[in-house]
Amino acid sequence: DIQMTQSPSSLSASVGDRVTITCQASQNIRNYLNWYQQKPGKAPKLLIYDASNLETGLPSRFSGSGSGTDFTFTISSLQPEDFATYYCQQYDNLITFGQGTRLEIK
Amino acid sequence: EVQLVESGGGLVKPGGSLRLSCAASGFTFSNYAMTWVRQAPGKGLEWVSSISHSSTYIYYADSVKGRFTISRDDAKNSLFLQVNSLRAEDTAVYHCARDRGNNWPPAAFDIWGQGTMVTVSS
pLDDT at residue B103 tops 90: no
Measured between CA atoms, the residue of chain A closest to residue B35 is A95
Q: Which of A71-75, B85-89, B93-97, B100-104 is least confident?
A: B100-104
- Among the partner-chain residues B44, B107, B113, the one whose CB lies closest to the CB of A97 is B44
Q: Which residues does chain B have within 8 Å of residue A100's beta carbon, measured at their own beta carbons? A: 44-45
Q: What is the mean predicted confidence (pLDDT) over B100-117?
A: 93
Is the CB of residue A87 less than 8 Å away from at least one CB of chain B?
A: yes
Cα B11 to chain centroid, rounded: 17
Q: What is the pLDDT of residues A13-41, one digit of tens each?
A: 999 999 999 999 999 999 999 999 999 99
Is the CB of residue B29 less than 8 Å away from at least one CB of chain A?
A: no
Please write down the HEC assignment for all residues of B4-69: EEEECCEEECCCCCEEEEEEEECCCHHHCCEEEEEECCCCCEEEEEEECHHHCCEEECCCCCCCEE
Surface of A (8-47) touching B: CB under 8 A: 32, 34, 36, 38, 42-46
Q: Which residues does chain B have within 8 Å of residue A55's beta carbon, measured at their own beta carbons? A: 110
Is the CB of residue B5 less than 8 Å away from at least one CB of chain A?
A: no
Q: Which of A54, A88, A90, A95 to mutate to test the interface with B (most CBs of B within 10 A)?
A: A95
Backbone φ and ψ of B82, nearest 5°: -85, 120
Residue B101's pLDDT band, with cuts at 50, 70 and 90, is confident
- Among the partner-chain residues B59, B100, B113, the one whose CB lies closest to the CB of A94 is B59
Measured between CA atoms, the residue of chain A closest to residue B116 is A43
In DSSP terms, A52 is beta-bridged to none
Tell if the CB–CB gap between A91 and B35 is shorter than 8 Å.
no
Tell me the average pLDDT of chain B: 97
* pLDDT-above-70 percentage for chain A: 100
> What pLDDT sits at residue B91?
98
Three-state SS for A47?
strand
Tell if the CB–CB gap between A87 and B114 is shorter than 8 Å.
no
